[in-house]
A and B are shown apart, each in its own frame.
Chain A
Amino acid sequence: MLSLTDVVAGYGPLQVLRGVTLDVQQGEIVCLLGGNAAGKSTMLKTVLGLLRPSAGSVALEGERIDRLATEDIVRRGIALVPESRRIFARMTVWENLAMGAYSRRSASPGEIDHDLERVYGLFPRLKERVSQHAGTMSGGEQQMLAIGRALMARPRLMLLDEPSMGLAPVLVEQVFDIIQAINRQGTTILVVEQNAAVALAVAHRGYVLQDGHIVMHGAAAQLLDADDIRRAYLGED
């Protein structure tokens, strides 16, 4: 569904990605691992059009998207759950979710309501707090909201940027359970993570990014095994 080919991207003279090739097939959960400053968030930004690659290409279902504006890319069915949640703190839960559905302006109110119910079904806590300002919620609740907001776009591909960051282990498990549930309902997932163990537990395949290159890739089970050797290395980066 999504494929990056030899992507080189970065900020000015600082080229963070130095020739990255990876792909995500429809229906999969793929995880991208790597330590700090490896280029994971940069890759997501490049996919979303927030950064323009200086070389290489990004394609969504065969169509090149690396030259498109962000809003056009997003409208093709990609949604993001940003790093550190980044929900709109000054808006209510409902307003955040409504913003999530913005790219689907052609949808009827009925469809939007249906999606809202779906989100409430996955996250009953959100329904309780519908009129609450998002900034007053806990980290875990905000993560739920961020995921729910992304779901409102009815994306074909959902990108998650370090969803485990700053959450207690119990919540991390919950979040990844939900990621699996969403995937089973038909959404392709690409999750970027530092926490290799939990990501590989739910993913089908994984890539490891280091110094701007893909240094390992394969089925999640394989990586987990090899990970025994690399866990310390990955963990301490």
Chain B
Amino acid sequence: MQAERRRIVLGLALAVTAFGLPLVAPNDYVIGVAARICLYATLALGLNVVVGFAGLLDIGYVAFFGIGSYLYAFLASPHFGLHLPFLLALPLVVLGTALFGILIGAPTLRLGGDYLAIVTLGFGEITYLLLLNLDRPVNITNGPSGIIDIDPPRLFGHAMTGNTSYYYLFLVVLGLALIAANRLQHSRIGWAWQAIREDELAARAMGINTTVAKLQAFAIGASFAGFAGALLASWQRSVFPENFLFTESINVLAMVIIGGMGSLAGVILGAVVIVALPEVFRELQAYRLLVFGLMLMVLMIFRPQGILVPRSRAAPAARDAAEAKQPG
């Protein structure tokens, strides 16, 4: 009871702080950074469903982010002449991205995790190449020039401008994403994912249709990314292939891993670290990836469960026993 109350109080305090941030922020740039954090945290929550909940290593996640962004750009910009309203384009983008998730997941999810990692890596690479080159023979993506002049969201008759309004939008979206992720984690599918993550063979033996469950994780993860992508496109008012390089996939993966795979609070912490830290240590920017790579290796050896361990994670010893061969 005490722990529960403490958590609620903490959560409320954080929420109040978050909502009050623009009032105390020194300048607009900081609000912009905060907005980025919320956006990427949402994105990372999506990857967390795939990697943290279901244990599928997707290292090409940026592809879905890019697809979402570009789909939104197709639907709400002068590029194709479509100017769908924000609230209509959004679900379409999410649906479209989820479809891509199913498309790429269907043939590959039934194979071992290592294969999935490589395939997702390749898919991320290919998506970037397609975004870069699909301007001929038919101009779909406008190539390296990207798509610009994307419509901003129009809510209550007004086009959104200024980082502050976007910040609040993203904050609300993040809140919704958190609720969704939490509900997923404790739902039937969430338990299925956990079982698959711990021991897929055992999960299958328990009657779980692992292929369907994995596909669902993939599609839901893609949906989150599509959503975030649409938000990015409407905020930046432009999209370029350069926004969706492999390094972005790694950034998002970092957010999930640092905080502890599966832990929602951890993911947010990860987003804060990954987005805010480079701002603080601007001179060391070049070393960021180097340190990150090293950190991944070290983390896996000494603290594989991440910095914040999710409560539902079973003790490794029990898992080892379950994995042990049948004694003779």
A-B contact pairs, 24 of them (CB 8 A): A10-B327, A11-B320, A11-B321, A11-B324, A11-B325, A11-B327, A12-B317, A12-B321, A13-B321, A14-B321, A14-B324, A14-B327, A16-B327, A38-B327, A39-B327, A39-B328, A40-B328, A41-B325, A41-B327, A42-B327, A44-B328, A83-B328, A161-B328, A162-B328
Residues from chain A with a CB closer than 8 A to the CB of B325 are 11, 41
In the complex the two chains form, is B328's CB within 8 Å of A192's CB? Answer: yes
Residues of chain A whose beta carbon lies under 8 Å from any beta carbon of chain B = 10-14, 16, 36-42, 44, 83, 161-162, 192
Measured CA separation A38–B328 after assembly (Å)? 6
A14 and B317 CA atoms in complex are apart in Å by 10
Chain B residues within an 8 Å CB radius of A10: 327
B318 within 8 A of A: yes
Whether the pair B328, A42 counts as a contact (CB closer than 8 A) is yes
- B317 contacts which chain A residues (CB < 8 A)? 12-13
Q: Residue of B at shortest CB range from A34?
A: B328
* List of 6 A-B pairs having minimum Cβ-Cβ separation, nearest first: A41-B328, A11-B324, A12-B321, A16-B327, A40-B328, A12-B320
Bound-complex Cα distance A13 to B320 (A)? 9
Q: Closest Cβ of chain B: how far from A79's Cβ, in Å?
A: 18
- B326 an interface residue at 8 Å Cβ cutoff? yes
Q: How many residues of chain B have a CB within 8 Å of chain A? A: 9
Given A11-B324, A37-B328: 5 more A-B contacts, CB < 8 Å? A13-B318, A16-B327, A38-B328, A39-B327, A161-B328
Chain B interface SS verdict (over half): loop
| Least distance between A60 CB and chain B CB atoms (Å) | 21
Provide the main secondary structure of the chain A interface.
mixed
State A12–B319 Cα separation when bound (angstroms). Answer: 9
A161 to B328, CA, bound (A): 9
When C-beta atoms are compared, the residue in chain A nearest to B326 turns out to be A37
CB of B159, distance to nearest CB on chain A (Å): 60
Min Cβ gap A211→B in Å is 11
Q: How far is the CB of A69 from chain B (nearest CB, A)?
A: 20
Q: Chain A residues with Cβ under 8 A from B318's Cβ?
A: 12-13
Cα–Cα, bound, A122→B273 (Å)? 69
CA distance A44 to B91 in the complex (A): 61
* Bound-complex Cα distance A11 to B325 (A): 9
* Nearest CB of chain A from residue B317's CB, rounded to whole Å: 5
CB neighbours (8 Å) of A12 from chain B are 317-318, 320-321, 324
Which residues of chain B (285-328) have a CB below 8 Å from chain A? 317-318, 320-321, 324-328
Chain B 110-141 per-residue mask, 1 if CB under 8 angstroms from chain A, else 0 = 00000000000000000000000000000000
